[in-house]
Amino acid sequence: MKTPYPAGKLRFTIGGGGCLSGRLRVPGDKSISHRAIMLGSLARGTTKVSGFLEGEDSLATLTAFRQMGVDISGPDNGHLIIRGVGMAGLREPPGPLDLGNSGTSMRLLAGLLAGQHFPVTLSGDDSLNSRPMRRVTEPLAQMGAHIETSATGTAPLCIRPGGMLSGINYAMPIASAQVKSSLLLAGLYAQGETCVSEPAPTRDHTERMLRGFGYPVRGVGNRICLEGGGELLSTDLDIPADISSAAFFLVGASIAEGSDLLLEHVGINPTRDGVINILRMMGADIQLLNQRDMGGEPVADLQVRSARLRGVKIPVDQVPLAIDEFPVLFVAAACAEGETIVTGAEELRVKESDRIQVMADGLNRLGVTARPTPDGMVIRGGGIGGGRVDSHGDHRIAMAFSIAALRASAPIQVDDCDNVNTSFPGFVNLATAAGLAIDSYRER
């Protein structure tokens, strides 16, 4: 039947209180899923993938490679078969590649496509088209790439073929895995060696996966180097559950009295485990069980029980290791005893939303004393009230405020939640199964 109104945005309402229990497996790692498509497509031979994240961001990458001529079967319950075309096998897509909300797709593809023999345009939604891209286009230009941005350095990115790229030595001014990965992927097509130094460790999935596909990558200290002109050989990949999605449940079970939850098969790569370290510093009860290695990525089952959290000054070196988890860590801080201080996290201002401002506004709406600073936030723990908050279309903000309801004195309504599907399809069902009193419906 036709509805009389156009469908509006998705809204969550979550009852205040409750606890989380049981065992659950959150969807596959988003960062690794993107890279599986990229490297599987460029490899020689067939790559079988399991645990692939069927979220809109990684599906945007998958669609982009299909449009460049790669034959990919699936996804079928997280399974994919990628028939790799080899390093020189991509073809010009029929039109611009639409990468939706996905910054990882755009920044990594800018590098990977800079060395191809065809022109291509990368575009996205309003949020992605307003995020900074010079951080990749400038070093790529130093390698000889021709990439046009808007006057303000944003997408659409128009990539034109030129001569052969040349390797560079690049010291990144910011700790960014997307910039590092973009340059390493361009480096595959460059003459000579490409070296990237990072000011602090960032997620190293690209380096690990390149090695898994048989491509030599040298890492000495904070400097990662590879030589262009090699080949990738297909391999099978089992992608662990995403610690960034597990983070919502780590915080939820920690703050909600009576909780006891087991999160299965979570990736605990040491460049991603800041959320565990920070929560433990705050007094959380998190155990790593059954630690194992899955194709070069460490994995464990995480047991989390409720605990009394205390405010901390978060060490700056943990920030890049937990960069996507701050929205929900701010919620943990709001439930802790005393003050939590976050510094050195200015990158949060240029994520899918300005996560410092949007989280501070939402927490204030719920009666929490949270003061945004240029590079972080100061949060005074105490009670959380009910109320209505706006996620600004940011998936992690929407889920963070849903989790906050576990400690709220009245229901919370979260607006603009459609983008939860970019990273965590099935969030509402999984959270409901664990005990969250969450409903979703469309605004009229």
Nearest 5°: CA angle at 360, between 354 and 363?
Answer: 135
Q: Is residue 301 annotated as part of the catalytic site, yes or no? A: no
Of the residues 238, 324, 394, 416, only one is catalytic, namely 324
Please say which residue, 194 or 440, places its beta carbon nearer to ligand S3P.
194
Q: Smallest gap, in angstroms, from Cβ of residue 53 to ligand S3P?
A: 11
- Sign for the CA dihedral angle at 328, 334, 336, 342 comes to positive
Binders of ligand S3P among 188-207, rule CB under 6 A?
202-203
Rounded to an integer, what distance in angstroms lies between the CA atom of residue 100 and that of residue 105?
9
Q: Which is nearer to ligand S3P, 181 or 353 (CB)?
A: 181
> CB-wise, 327 or 386, nearer to ligand S3P?
327
Among 227, 264, 339, 347, binds ligand S3P (CB under 6 A): 347
List the alpha helices (DSSP H) in 189-235. Answer: 205-212
> What residues contact residue 243 under an 8 Å CB cut-off, 6+ apart?
29, 266, 267, 268, 269, 272, 273, 275, 276
Helix (H/G/I), strand (E/B), else coil: 223: strand
CA atoms of 442 and 272, how far apart (whole Å)? 34
User: Residue 164 in contact with residue 191, Cβ under 8 Å?
Assistant: yes
Least separation in angstroms between residue 181's CB and ligand S3P is 6
Q: Does 56 bind ligand S3P (CB under 6 A)?
A: no
With CB under 6 A as the contact rule, the residue among 176, 245, 254, 391 that binds ligand S3P is 176
Query: In angstroms, how far is CA 377 from the centroid of its own chain?
Result: 21
Report the C-alpha gap between 435 and 258 in whole angstroms. Answer: 11
Judged by CB under 6 A, the stretch of 163-171, 173-181, 221-229, 367-375 that binds ligand S3P is 173-181
The answer to whether 323 contacts ligand S3P (rule: CB under 6 A) is: yes
Query: What's the CA gap between 157 and 145, in Å, rounded?
Result: 12
Report the residue from 47, 137, 178, 259 that binds ligand S3P according to the rule CB under 6 A.
Answer: 178
Task: Pick the stretch among 12-20, 176-184, 225-233, 328-336 that binds ligand S3P (CB under 6 A).
Answer: 176-184
Q: Does 181 interact with ligand S3P (rule: CB under 6 A)? A: yes
Q: Any alpha helices (H) in 9-72, and if so which ranges?
A: 30-42, 56-67
By CB under 6 A, the residues from 82 to 111 that bind ligand S3P are 104
Q: Looking at beta carbons only, is 311 or 327 nearer to ligand S3P?
A: 327
Minimal distance, residue 58 CB to ligand S3P, in Å: 10
Q: Residues in the site for ligand S3P, rule: CB under 6 A?
A: 31, 104, 176-178, 181, 202-203, 323-324, 347
Residues tagged active-site: 324
